[in-house]
């Protein structure tokens, strides 16, 4: 079970570009403290017409937490995105939280934890990775982050900092590039996971990305011997397969 859903006003206390089109946003509730949530859950920003826009909470939960972090991609061609940023620029938003069934349990599983993200799906994984570090999870933390180009890793140094604390970080670029400075992996996320299969096979796997990416990854790695019961994603709820 998750936490009780509440709705309240938040002030936008910080908003700055983290990449070419992704903004790192911090919200602070006017009531003082953030309602309880679990690492991996998301919130909904309610636009003036009450249309909800869902975003993963990027910050790990903590006691008497005063603000939360979001990673929001700006899409100039989207009317909803334009309305959202108009509201954010006004400095106040109505927020409903928490939502989502893809979150870390308490206590953490006594298994390796594998976090798989595409694009801004990194926000959900950031919350979970930082929660694992806060809880001193000792069974192995693995992060696979996919982007079309290296520029898509909009917080490039943060996972490297986690690596110094024992996180196994694997950035994966899908598009062919002519950048001789790139020394990470090329290809698809599931290819990188399969290459590391022996380390990950018994792990609990958390995935965040488009339904196409999530289901393609799940199908391939399940066929390779990974346990479907150990795979978790919000996609199962908002875009279930027949």
Cis peptide, bond prior to residue 230, ω within 30 of zero: no
Is 43 strand, coil or helix? strand
Give me the residues paired with residue 143 across strands.
Answer: 115, 169
Sorted by sequence, the CB contacts under 8 Å of residue 53 that are 6+ apart come out as: 44, 45, 46, 47, 80, 84
Q: Fold for domain 113-238?
A: Rossmann fold (3.40.50)
Measured distance CA(134)–CA(3) in Å, rounded = 20
Look up tokens 């996972």; give the residue. 159
**In the chain, where are the structural domains located?**
6-99, 113-238
Measured distance CA(235)–CA(157) in Å, rounded = 28
For the chain, which residues score pLDDT lower than 50? 1
Architecture of domain 6-99: Beta Barrel (2.40)
The pLDDT value recorded for residue 20 is: 79
Q: How far is CA 170 from CA 94, 182, 193, in A?
A: 36, 13, 9
How far from the centroid of its chain's Cα atoms is residue 205's Cα? Answer: 13
Cis peptide, bond prior to residue 98, ω within 30 of zero: yes
The pLDDT value recorded for residue 178 is: 64
The pLDDT value recorded for residue 242 is: 83
Measured distance CA(76)–CA(82) in Å, rounded = 6
Convert 141-162 to b/e letters by CB count within 10 Å (16 or more is b).
bbbbbbbeeeebbbbeebbeeb
Sorted by sequence, the CB contacts under 8 Å of residue 197 that are 6+ apart come out as: 224, 225, 226
Alpha helices in the chain (DSSP H): 79-89, 122-134, 157-163, 189-195, 197-200, 211-223, 235-238
């Amino acid at each position: 079970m998750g936490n009780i859903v509440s709705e309240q006003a938040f002030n936008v206390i910080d908003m700055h570009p983290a990449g070419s089109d992704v903004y790192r946003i911090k919200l602070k509730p006017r009531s003082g403290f953030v309602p309880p949530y679990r690492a991996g859950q998301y919130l909904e920003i309610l636009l003036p017409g009450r249309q909800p826009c869902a975003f993963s909470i990027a910050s790990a939960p903590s006691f008497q937490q005063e603000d939360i972090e979001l990673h929001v991609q700006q899409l100039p061609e989207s009317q909803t995105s334009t309305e959202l940023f108009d509201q954010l620029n006004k400095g106040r938003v109505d927020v409903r939280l928490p939502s989502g069934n893809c979150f870390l349990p308490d206590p953490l599983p006594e298994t390796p934890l594998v976090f798989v993200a595409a694009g801004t799906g990194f926000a959900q994984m950031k919350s979970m990775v930082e929660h694992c570090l806060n809880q001193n999870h000792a069974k192995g933390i693995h992060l696979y982050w996919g982007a079309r180009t290296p520029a898509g890793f909009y917080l490039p140094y943060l996972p490297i900092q986690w690596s110094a604390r024992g996180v196994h970080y694997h950035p994966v670029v899908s598009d062919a590039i002519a950048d001789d400075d790139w020394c990470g992996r090329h290809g698809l996320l599931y290819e990188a996971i399969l290459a590391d299969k022996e380390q990950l096979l018994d792990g609990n796997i958390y995935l965040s990305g488009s339904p196409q990416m999530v289901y393609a990854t799940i199908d391939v790695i399940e066929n390779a011997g990974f346990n479907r019961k150990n795979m978790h994603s919000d996609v199962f709820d908002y875009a279930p397969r027949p």
